Each structure stands twice: as C-alpha cells, then as structure tokens.
C-alpha cells in the first residue's frame, strides 16, 4: 500500500498563477486534511473533509479551495497564488470522521511563489 500520495513534490509559481495540489489515499480512510507547514509555526490546518461529500474550513482557509472528489481523493486549489502561500503542504488522512484520530501524512509538496 502506498498510504497517502501527494503530487507534485515541488512547484514554483508566479504571483497570480493558479494550481491544484493532488492527494490520494488507499487506506479506505473517511477523513482527509490539508495542512501547511511554515518554519517555527508547526502545522496549520487549511481545510478538512470529515467524510466523502463534506468539507470544512480549518485554521487558515483564506486563499484556498478544496474538493473531495471521492473517498480516496482530496485536492487543494490555489486560485491566485501569493508569496505568503510559499510553504510546505501536507495532505493527511485518518480512519475516523473526527479530528483527533491519528493522522497519516503524505510526503508533502514544497511550493514557492515568487
């Protein structure tokens, strides 16, 4: 099993460009999450999907949109990238439909916005 797979691994965007980060899990987990990680700030939740068909805002949702395409896939879209969105983005999944279940993380996407 691959676990949680994220693509791409690296991306450089210019201010104003758009892109979608892809995430898929093969563990049949109900819940999926998108976090960003910045130096000295730990991981901050952008959006999560407790179950297929639902999405909710996390701590830092501004500038992002998400789609829970099916039970396996959860994508994150930046419509108009800004330098403040330079970060490492992690997708995660958990078995139970509540925050507080152990999270399984993907390998991350390192995004630079110039």
Partner 1 sequence: GQQVMQIPQYQHVQEGEDFTTYCNSSTTLSNIQWYKQRPGGHPVFLIQLVKSGEVKKQKRLTFQFGEAKKNSSLHITATQTTDVGTYFCAGLGYNNNDMRFGAGTRLTVKP
Q: What is the contact surface with partner 1 in residues (CB under 8 A)?
A: 35, 40-45, 56, 59, 90, 98-100, 102-108
Minimum distance from CB of 40 to partner 1 (Å)?
6
Minimum distance from CB of 4 to partner 1 (Å)?
9
Question: Which residue reads 């999944």 in tokens?
Answer: 93
Minimum distance from CB of 44 to partner 1 (Å)?
7
In angstroms, the CA 28 to CA 22 distance is 17
List all residues 6 or more positions away from 108 whose beta carbon is below 8 Å from its beta carbon. Answer: 6, 9, 37, 88, 89, 90
* Cβ proximity to partner 1, 12 vs 41, nearer residue: 41
């Amino acid at each position: 099993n691959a676990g949680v797979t994220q693509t791409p691994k690296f991306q450089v965007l210019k201010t104003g460009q758009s892109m979608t980060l892809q995430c898929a899990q093969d563990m049949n987990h109900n819940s999926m999450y998108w976090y960003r990680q910045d130096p000295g700030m730990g991981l901050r939740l952008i959006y999560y999907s407790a179950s297929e068909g639902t999405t909710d805002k996390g701590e830092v949702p501004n500038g992002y949109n998400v789609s829970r395409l099916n039970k396996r896939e959860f994508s994150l879209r930046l419509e108009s990238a800004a330098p403040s969105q330079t970060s490492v983005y992690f997708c995660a999944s958990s078995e139970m439909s509540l925050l507080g279940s152990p999270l399984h993380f993907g390998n991350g996407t390192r995004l630079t916005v110039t």
